[in-house]
A = this chain, B = another copy of it.
Amino acid sequence: MRSAITILASIICIDAANAQSIQHFDPVVFSRVNITDHFWKPKMDLVATTTLNACIYQTEVATPRLRNFEKVARKKGEKHEGIFYDDSDVFKALEAMSYSIANDHDSALEAKADEWIDKIAAAQLPDGYLNTYFTLNDLSLRWTDMSMHEDYNAGHMIEAAVAYYNATGKRKFLDICIKWADYFDSVFGPGKRHWVTGHEELELALVKLYRVTGNKKYLNLSHWLLEERGHGYAHGYTWTDWKDTAYAQDVLPVSQQTEITGHAVRAMYLYTGAADVAAQTGDTSYMNAMKNVWNDVVGRNMYITGGIGSSGGNEGFSKDYDLPNEYAYCETCASVGMVFWNQRMNALTGESKYMDVLERSLYNGALDGISISGDHFFYGNPLASNGQNSRREWFGTACCPANIARLIASLGNYIYANNEKDIWVNLFVGSNTNIALKKGNVGIRMETNYPWDGNINITAQPDKKMQYALHIRIPGWAVNTPVPGDLYGYTDHYNDSVTILVNGKPATYNTELGYAVIDREWKKGDVVTMLLPMQVRKIVARSEVTADANRIALQRGPLVYCVEMKDNNEGVWNLLLPQSSTFIIVNSNVLTEKIVALEAKASVIVAAADGNSVNTQTTTIKAIPYYTWANRGNNAMQVWLPTKVTAIKIN
């Protein structure tokens, strides 16, 4: 943490001053949270070094992404290289760099960011337009095709600029974005041209720009963009890239949407932006629509890993309960988007179930997107593999690496929240922060070895004795609700339970909206201890999910487990795990990652030596956390294990 905190504090005031906010509470911003966690801190350090170095190398050396900006400045008629949305990768890397700078100041990284920002500035046209693809190739075609990501690129530019301003206080990049947004506002809006964003992103970015500048024009513009959807503009000539408006969530106005459709990342960014606008404007129609859509996602279309978007064909949704495991698409960016959206829903409603889903996506679907080494990535995150999946250094479409990097670098955003009188603890991550309540400041220190064990100590450091309510999230998974709704359930009713102590004695608390609420007078050094039950839990899916029929998945704490060939030489697709299985816990490791592994007795069906028949044998299987798979070479893997044989396939 560094001096940027003071800058941020003033920024947040603009937001807090907005009387229309309907937020239940505000998340504590990451730059006010110092993370000391055993699990996350090393990952953040790795992102700040290895992952960002990889992003920087790919952006400025290995690919023409940054060079496209230089070409615009040179004005020598050079053509754009790469894909039309490559600018966004430069911005997303800058955003991750900004968070890293805010976390632990690094002059070299800041100098690199300034160098990039100078190049971006030099590529802005006098009218404010900034897009290397159209500027280099044919400016007369700008804004003629809604699918060309001009808005998307700019949205990521704004997110990066806001992050960099918050991290450093330097305005240059922010001013570029203000100029761009004013230009966009001069072209589009009520009485001007219509526009439906082809890949949503600008909406949420404009709310960030509003929050940092206080200029309501940007909020209004974001709201207008949301309102543009669902009126058939997509049928116009500019919507050429896709066969279906459902792909871009443009069938119905946002306030009338009830089901998730199309491209998963687009959907996540849309609903995040809509929640941001709802938070500012109090538009309850958005909230109601998003609650319906959320029920559709979580109740019918989400993997147990918190991943969404089962279909590779449209990078998104197919039909309800269609959740194939081996061919799960589950883009890393979609899980990152689930974190964004669920945080907004949690802040708006105060309900812990959104944070349950956030935690599931974060520890499983999203974290799986980055290797233990920090420099290899998954674009898709399937739940079963024949060994064909390998993590890669980079991608032609490189949205995922910087997206997971910016998420981990800003993890502090998701841990605490407060309103003017109370405090919320949402995630269990070793950290400390300082929260300004109306009555005074409260320091908070959390210590835990979560997710490996379930003991969490939260120490209060109020300036003075102070009455306030501490709301601690009771994870759904700990109280027999692995996922909100009934898409997934446990095989058994687990009789273990959550214990909460204050200064070592059973606490008095109410449960509200999924939180344990301890409302008392707190003094310096008061310690709340939460003991979460860490028994291995066996999960079953609704019968409509045919891919998971007669199968169980394993979860311990927030972590979903899998069996990988590397630990199970006799195979992973030919295992039979009785539903009555019991597990032992084993401290283990995957490369450098210390983990808790699970072991259990199982049957394995293997070919006879002559290849003409098969035998059933007993074996001991080992399961590892899902996020650690595919770090030891290509490997067959399964999350959902059969409990009985109904049919078999010969390979």
Contact residues, A385-422 vs B (CB, 8 A): 396-397
**Interface assignment of A515: CB less than 8 Å from any CB of chain B:** no
User: If A79-B235, A243-B397 touch, does A647 touch B571 (CB 8 Å cutoff)?
Assistant: yes
> What's the least CB distance linking A527 to chain B, in Å?
49
How far is B234's CA from A83's CA once the two chains are assembled, in angstroms? Answer: 12
Tell whether, in the assembled complex, residue A646 and residue B611 are in contact, meaning their CB atoms are under 8 Å apart.
yes
**Interface assignment of A317: CB less than 8 Å from any CB of chain B:** no
* Neighbouring B residues of A613 by C-beta, 8 Å: 603, 605, 616, 645
How far is B144's CA from A113's CA once the two chains are assembled, in angstroms? Answer: 37
**Interface assignment of A107: CB less than 8 Å from any CB of chain B:** no
> What's the least CB distance linking A498 to chain B, in Å?
36
> What's the least CB distance linking A95 to chain B, in Å?
23
Interface code A623-650, partner B: CB below 8 Å = 1, 0 otherwise? 0000000000000000000101111111
Number of copies: 2
Tell whether, in the assembled complex, residue A573 and residue B644 are in contact, meaning their CB atoms are under 8 Å apart.
no
Tell whether, in the assembled complex, residue B79 and residue A644 are in contact, meaning their CB atoms are under 8 Å apart.
no
> What's the least CB distance linking A553 to chain B, in Å?
15
Tell whether, in the assembled complex, residue A612 and residue B644 are in contact, meaning their CB atoms are under 8 Å apart.
yes
> What's the least CB distance linking A451 to chain B, in Å?
29
How far is B615's CA from A645's CA once the two chains are assembled, in angstroms? Answer: 11
* Neighbouring B residues of A644 by C-beta, 8 Å: 607, 610-612
How far is B396's CA from A566's CA once the two chains are assembled, in angstroms? Answer: 44
Tell whether, in the assembled complex, residue A84 and residue B240 are in contact, meaning their CB atoms are under 8 Å apart.
yes
User: If A611-B645, A650-B605 touch, does A237 touch B144 (CB 8 Å cutoff)?
Assistant: no
Tell whether, in the assembled complex, residue A576 and residue B616 are in contact, meaning their CB atoms are under 8 Å apart.
no
Which of the candidate stretches A134-142, A254-262, A460-468, A517-525 sits at the interface with the other chain? A134-142
Among B84, B243, B647, the residue within 8 A (CB) of A651 is B647
> What's the least CB distance linking A635 to chain B, in Å?
14
Please tell me the number of chain A residues within 8 Å of chain B, measured between CB atoms.
52
How far is B571's CA from A289's CA once the two chains are assembled, in angstroms? Answer: 45
Contact residues, A360-403 vs B (CB, 8 A): 396-397
Tell whether, in the assembled complex, residue A134 and residue B616 are in contact, meaning their CB atoms are under 8 Å apart.
no
Tell whether, in the assembled complex, residue B612 and residue A573 are in contact, meaning their CB atoms are under 8 Å apart.
no
Among B81, B611, B647, the residue within 8 A (CB) of A573 is B647
Among B81, B312, B327, the residue within 8 A (CB) of A235 is B81
> What's the least CB distance linking A246 to chain B, in Å?
11
**Interface assignment of A574: CB less than 8 Å from any CB of chain B:** yes
Tell whether, in the assembled complex, residue A605 and residue B614 are in contact, meaning their CB atoms are under 8 Å apart.
yes
**Interface assignment of A114: CB less than 8 Å from any CB of chain B:** no
**Interface assignment of A145: CB less than 8 Å from any CB of chain B:** yes
* Neighbouring B residues of A145 by C-beta, 8 Å: 145, 240
* Neighbouring B residues of A241 by C-beta, 8 Å: 240-241
> What's the least CB distance linking A585 to chain B, in Å?
26
> What's the least CB distance linking A596 to chain B, in Å?
26
**Interface assignment of A77: CB less than 8 Å from any CB of chain B:** no
Among B240, B650, B651, the residue within 8 A (CB) of A575 is B650
How far is B138's CA from A546's CA once the two chains are assembled, in angstroms? Answer: 46
How far is B571's CA from A648's CA once the two chains are assembled, in angstroms? Answer: 9
**Interface assignment of A313: CB less than 8 Å from any CB of chain B:** yes
Among B81, B550, B648, the residue within 8 A (CB) of A649 is B648
* Neighbouring B residues of A608 by C-beta, 8 Å: 645
**Interface assignment of A504: CB less than 8 Å from any CB of chain B:** no
Tell whether, in the assembled complex, residue A614 and residue B616 are in contact, meaning their CB atoms are under 8 Å apart.
yes
Tell whether, in the assembled complex, residue B576 and residue A650 are in contact, meaning their CB atoms are under 8 Å apart.
yes
* Neighbouring B residues of A137 by C-beta, 8 Å: 236-237
* Neighbouring B residues of A148 by C-beta, 8 Å: 240
* Neighbouring B residues of A244 by C-beta, 8 Å: 396
Interface code A70-86, partner B: CB below 8 Å = 1, 0 otherwise? 00000000011101100
* Neighbouring B residues of A243 by C-beta, 8 Å: 83, 396-397
Interface code A571-598, partner B: CB below 8 Å = 1, 0 otherwise? 1011110100000000000000000000
> What's the least CB distance linking A581 to chain B, in Å?
13
Contact residues, A125-166 vs B (CB, 8 A): 133-134, 137-138, 141, 144-145, 148
Question: Which 3 pairs, one residue from A and one from B, show the smallest C-beta to C-beta distance?
Answer: A611-B644, A137-B237, A613-B616
Given contacts A642-B650, A647-B651, 18 further A-B contacts (CB under 8 A): A79-B235, A79-B236, A145-B145, A243-B396, A243-B397, A244-B396, A574-B650, A605-B648, A605-B650, A608-B645, A612-B645, A613-B616, A613-B645, A614-B614, A614-B616, A614-B645, A645-B650, A648-B651
